[in-house]
Amino acid sequence: MVNTRVTLCGITLDNPVIPASGTFGFGYEFAELYDINLLGTFSFKGTTRENRFGNPTPRIAECTAGMINAVGLQNPGVEKVVSEELPKLGKVFHKPVMANVSGFSVEDYACTCAILDREEQVGWLEVNVSCPNVHGGGMSFGTDPEAAASVTRAVKAVTKKPVIIKLSPNVTDIVSIAKACEEAGADGISLINTLLGMRIDLKTGRPIIANTMGGFSGPAIFPVALRMVYQVSKAVNIPVVGMGGVSSAEDVVEMMMAGACAVEVGAANLIDPYASLRIVKALPETMEKYGISDLNDIIGKAH
């Protein structure tokens, strides 16, 4: 009998598999397909202080071994998330959920996190300083150590729940940013968000996506994500959540060996709505295949 249980910032998960924000809605949509309580937890749709319509269409472009999206944080705003989305989720999901938060100013982040911090079902606040799809915010906070630290300090000042800062790979030195967030009080780091990419329509000679560029995700980015998880987990003393191109139980094991204590699954959910469930079910057999009796024993094994 293998042990798939792990701990993330003091909260125990039945397994380390977490559908990533933006790929799992607010959860109850997937609950129509299977029992989402079989997941470790999930990170719900990126939430902002005010409602957002998002970017103009087209927002999606296909790529070899991946996709580009520029949805632009479309969401109903934090007040409606609390009053409408979370009550619907509470009927079908009976575990702590990860709240993903984005903003366009330090005050935005702090305000949204303070509201979500009061919600009983919210277990962690995943603060996204790394969205490449919006103008005037998002990734701009995640490309500079001091800016990322300022968001971290502001959120920690108004919250009691664990704060996990989600970092961008679109930087030259992700370790310095991660360490700055740790020093500012972050309880964990999650990485990586999408890489910045684009496609061009050969018939028109114009970018396919209306926003010109967007976030590149999918299996093609897995080696980059793995490298950054390895680097950051070696440099900080707080938990790391790994993500980026994860599509199998083997990928989960590899991410954990690189230093992740939990693993998010993103684009795979958009290709196959049962992807995360498939990974959860395959994990025990995969562990037995590689002689792993307890997932906690392999965290950071590659170091």
Report residue 135's pLDDT band, with 50, 70 and 90 as the boundaries. Answer: very low
CB contact set of 54 (below 8 Å; sequence gap of 6+): 71, 72, 73, 74
Q: What would the pLDDT profile of 198-226 be if each residue is shown by its tens digit?
A: 999 999 999 999 999 999 999 999 999 99
At residue 133, the pLDDT reads 45
CB 277 within 8 A of CB 34: yes
Catalytic entry in 9, 113, 131, 181 = 131
Tokens of 253: 């094991």
Report residue 131's pLDDT band, with 50, 70 and 90 as the boundaries. Answer: low
Q: What would the pLDDT profile of 142-198 be if each residue is shown by its tens digit?
A: 788 999 999 999 999 999 999 999 999 999 999 999 999 999 999 999 999 999 999
Q: What angle do CA 41, 42, 47 make, to 5 degrees?
A: 140
Q: Which residues of 34-65 are buried (b: 16+ CB within 10 A; e: fewer)?
A: eebeebbbbbbbbbbbeebeebeeebebeeee
At residue 72, the pLDDT reads 82
Signed CA dihedral, 98, 99, 104, 107: sign only: negative
Q: What is the pTM of this model?
A: 0.95
Tokens of 301: 């094994």
Report residue 251's pLDDT band, with 50, 70 and 90 as the boundaries. Answer: very high
Least Cα distance to 270 among 59, 53, 15 occurs for 59
Is 131 catalytic? The answer is yes
CATH number of 6-56+72-198+216-297: 3.20.20.70
Q: Does residue 127 register a pLDDT over 60? A: yes
Helices (H), 137-274: 145-158, 174-183, 222-235, 249-258, 267-271
Residue-averaged pLDDT of the chain: 95
Q: Does residue 240 register a pLDDT over 50? A: yes
Report residue 36's pLDDT band, with 50, 70 and 90 as the boundaries. Answer: very high
Cα distance between residue 263 and residue 97, in whole Å: 14
Report residue 139's pLDDT band, with 50, 70 and 90 as the boundaries. Answer: low
Q: What would the pLDDT profile of 70-94 be if each residue is shown by its tens digit?
A: 988 899 999 999 999 999 999 999 9
List the domain boundaries for the chain: 6-56+72-198+216-297
CB contact set of 271 (below 8 Å; sequence gap of 6+): none
